[in-house]
Structure formats: structure tokens, C-alpha cells
Amino acid sequence: MWHREFIRESLSAVSKIVSNQARRNRLCFSTGSLGVANLLLILIMLIAQLSDIHVRPRGLLYKGLVDSNRMFSEAIEHLQELDQSPDLVLLTGDLVDEGHPDEYEMVKELVRPLKAPLLVLPGNHDQRQALLDAFPDHAYLPVSGPLHYFSDDHPVRIVALDSCPPGRHHGEIDSRGLEWLFDTLSADKQKPTLVLLHHPPFVCGIPYLDDYRYINHEPLAAVIGAFTNVEAVLCGHVHRPMFRRWAGTVVAACPSTATQIALQFQSHASPRSYVGPPACLLHLWDPVQGLVSHISYIGKYPGPLPFF
């Protein structure tokens, strides 16, 4: 693999980075016993992001039309078939469509084949208490809403924000949430960090999506912009891949594993969706190269062909 070549050629140059990274991540091993190359490999991580999966109770279709359960199951299979197993899987909201306990039971059944740790985040279609009731073993979740949390269990720090006011479809974080975010980011200004929230904090230009956008993004931008270690802000909600420079970092919106919103910009355009192509984001973190995010399409396509 390319990074193994790089390691062989750059051991001395990266040793300082690796040592700092190990210290930041409080990894308990000796650089002498493992060697710099092995340490660097330990600190490389693949983070899979799935979003807007809109699971339904067994046997029911999303909006009566789309087999979102089967499509989510195929997304999980897709992750299992990657040539590098994800170290962490993120579900960035709309785990289910209507917030029913039966839907969350279905999510739990469908994620069972996953070997990597799973972090969940609510979207506007989720129901906080039903989500909490479904995942009592997810100790990172607070006992009540809003469901902001962080995880320091990996080489990349995860800070998750609940941008979903109950019963509403737009995105918003109140002043207490922003204070929590500031305090949480202040607790470690060095470790590379990903911030998660369901709603992308920008106007995307698709009118029927912007009706349900994150509102009043400036206070959130002021907090995130104060920290240089936020590698990216990862979102869902818009059922399309989107990327934007924002608050000194990059916002990436993840496609849905079920339906993709039609790309239309005219103000009179009416809402439309397509069943596919389903996709997820794969974020490859490397302490030397930084973060690279890939769109990974789910499904079988002709190929591979013997050229590139």
C-alpha cells in the first residue's frame, strides 16, 4: 500500500509527529518496542459515515415506496467488503423515518454484522427518547437531550452535536449547546477532531432543502472557527454529497443510503427524489497526510477493468 512505502522512506521525519500523536491519544505503548512504522499504522484510521438510512419496521417501505431496510443492509455489507475494515462507523442522523421503537429495533438488527464500534447521532426524523431507549449500551450518549457527546477513544476525536429541536425539521443549536461545544473543543485543542451534526450549516441552493436548513449558523461558525484542529464537519440531512469551505474547516454532507434528493436550483422546483445511487463517505485519517474523504457508491457495477 502507498502509505507503507511512505513510511519506509520517511521514518525519521515522522517520528516526532507519531510521538506527539501517541501522547495526545494517550496510547499506552513504547515507541521502542513497536517501532515508528507500526505506531503510524496504528494511528491510521478509516471512518465510515452512513446517513439518512430511514429504516422502517420490518416489512414496511420508506414512504410506502422504497425498501430502505434492504438498502441499509446492503450498505453494511458494502463496509464489510472494503479492503480495509472501518475502525469506526458513524450514523449521522435519520436512522429511522418516524421515530418508532420498532424502527430502532430494526436498526439494531441490521447493524449486527458490523465489527467496528458504532456512534449514532439523531436527525430530524429521529425521536430522542426512542433512540436512547434503543441504545442503552451506548455509554457515550447523554441520558437526556439534547444528545451532544464526544468520544476520545480513537486517534481522531469525535464531537457530536444534536442539531434537532424536537418536533421540528430545521436545524438549530441553542446557546447552551454552543457553550458545551466551546468547552468540549477547548478541552483538547491539539488532537485532530471531527465535528458531527445532522444539518449542514449552509444554504445549498436547492430550494426545498433550504426550507429545512440549519438556521442562524453564524454563532456555530464563531465557535468552530476558533479551533484549528477541527479537520471537518460531517453532516447528513440533504441526501446528497455536498462540500463547502466554512468556519476555517470543510463541511462534508453525506449522501443517503436510501433516496437521493433531485439536484434542482430553480426557486419554483418541486421536491423530488431518486432511489439511488446509494452511497456513503469514507474518511481516511493519516497522521502525516491528514484527512481524505471519499464518496463510496454502494452496489454492483461493471468492472473492474484492467486499466485506470
Q: Applying CB under 5 A, which residues contact Fe ion?
A: 52, 94
Q: Round to whole Å and give the CA distance between 247 and 220.
A: 9
- Closest to Fe ion by CB, 157 vs 240, is 240
Residue 305 Cβ vs Fe ion, minimum distance, rounded to whole Å: 34
Q: Which residue has the cell 434528493?
A: 261
Identify the CA nearest to 240 among candidates 215, 288, 205, 270.
205
- Closest to Fe ion by CB, 122 vs 287, is 122
Residues with Cβ within 8 Å of 144's Cβ and at least 6 positions away in sequence, in order, are 128, 132
- Closest to Fe ion by CB, 230 vs 258, is 258
- Closest to Fe ion by CB, 45 vs 120, is 120
Residue 123 Cβ vs Fe ion, minimum distance, rounded to whole Å: 6
- Closest to Fe ion by CB, 86 vs 122, is 122
Residue 278 Cβ vs Fe ion, minimum distance, rounded to whole Å: 13
- Closest to Fe ion by CB, 94 vs 103, is 94
Residue 215 Cβ vs Fe ion, minimum distance, rounded to whole Å: 17
Residue 61 Cβ vs Fe ion, minimum distance, rounded to whole Å: 15
- Closest to Fe ion by CB, 51 vs 193, is 51
The three-state DSSP-derived secondary structure of 56-70 is: CCCCCCECCCECHHH
Q: Round to whole Å and give the CA distance between 9 and 37.
A: 10
Residue 258 Cβ vs Fe ion, minimum distance, rounded to whole Å: 8
Residue 75 Cβ vs Fe ion, minimum distance, rounded to whole Å: 14
Residue 52 Cβ vs Fe ion, minimum distance, rounded to whole Å: 3
- Closest to Fe ion by CB, 94 vs 231, is 94
